[in-house]
Amino acid sequence: MHSLNLKENRIHGNFILPFSVYHCEINDNVSHSIVTHWHEEIEIITVEKGMAEFRVDLDSYILKDGDILIIKPFSLHSIYPVDNMHCTWNVMVFNLGMLNSSTTDGCLIKYFAPISNNEHQLPIIINNFLAGYDEIFNSISEIINCFDIKKTAFELKIKSLLFYFFSLLYENDLILKKKTSSLTNESTEKIKATLNYIHENYMHELPISDIATTCNFSQYYFMKFFKKHLGITCNEYVNVYRLAMASKLLNTTDKSITEISFETGFNSVSYFNKLFKEKFKITPKEFRETNKDKFIDV
């Protein structure tokens, strides 16, 4: 079961073309993390400049210029800055169903159905050490350019280029038959349940003992489990999420800083100000003044 509160609510594209492109960035002025979420679409990221940490399900990847990341449907993912470095990246998000035929054919049976059914494993990272990298990167760039310019019949071209993109993955043996791990799947679901609980209750007091019950773990084992799979402690994650929600409220409401601090689960305004400045390098007031409407809504 997927945690609905972690699901991204944004609609990507429309009924005619369920496909969208986004140009994103993290820098030291808006140095928040893009918090953990999931969606039903596949997501393909190309890093344009800089470096950032991308977390997918239970694994962490540091991506730099030119790297490609493929996030399969329903995967938990989040993005974190690395040493406050500026990073820009392009994102393609689309529903795999747009490539299916209304009639059963060889392409569906041999290639797309196994991906949709989780029988074939998509590559996660594609870099310039792998065969076919240049063609794959160029095909993604062409798709993004096609979407941005939107010439006549661009929808047809995008669809044809997506077929070409997947043909390159298969041609270069980058899509493989999947070896499933029930332990990994179970751990992923426990992480989803935990994050869902945090996202539903971040505005309240959150003792670790209460959060641990979502996994049916002891507090001690839960703390080790969480740190192992997310790379930070549970308390650190709660604060990161609360600060992300606070930054959103600072940019989208006229509520006072005191109101926002209490609404996002901080029992002390001074503690909120301290953590906020540690993360964003500026005070909440300065953030509101300099970053109005720059919050990346995920």
Average pLDDT for residues 166-178, to the nearest whole number?
91
Tokens at 28, concatenated: 């030291």
According to the model, what pLDDT value does residue 5 have?
41
- The mean predicted confidence, pLDDT, of the chain is 84
What φ, ψ does residue 97 adopt, rounded to 5°?
Answer: -60, -20
Report the percentage of the chain scoring pLDDT > 90: 45
pLDDT digits (tens, 9 = 90+) for 10-53: 545 555 688 999 998 886 544 456 777 777 889 999 999 999 99
- How many angstroms separate the CA atoms of 38 and 56, rounded? 10
pLDDT digits (tens, 9 = 90+) for 41-91: 899 999 999 999 998 887 889 999 999 999 988 888 888 888 878 899 999
For the chain, domains (ranges, CATH) are 4-177 (2.60.120.280), 182-290 (1.10.10.60)
Is the separation of the CB atoms in 82 and 51 below 8 Å? Answer: yes
- How many angstroms separate the CA atoms of 150 and 229, rounded? 41
- How many angstroms separate the CA atoms of 72 and 232, rounded? 23
- How many angstroms separate the CA atoms of 194 and 143, rounded? 36
- How many angstroms separate the CA atoms of 174 and 176, rounded? 6
Burial classification of residue 241, based on how many CB atoms lie within 10 Å of its CB (0-12 exposed, 13-18 middle, 19 or more buried): buried
Query: Measured between alpha carbons, how far is residue 159 from residues 97, 112, 121, 126, 128 in Å?
Result: 11, 14, 21, 21, 25
**Which residues are paired to 25 by β-bridges?**
88
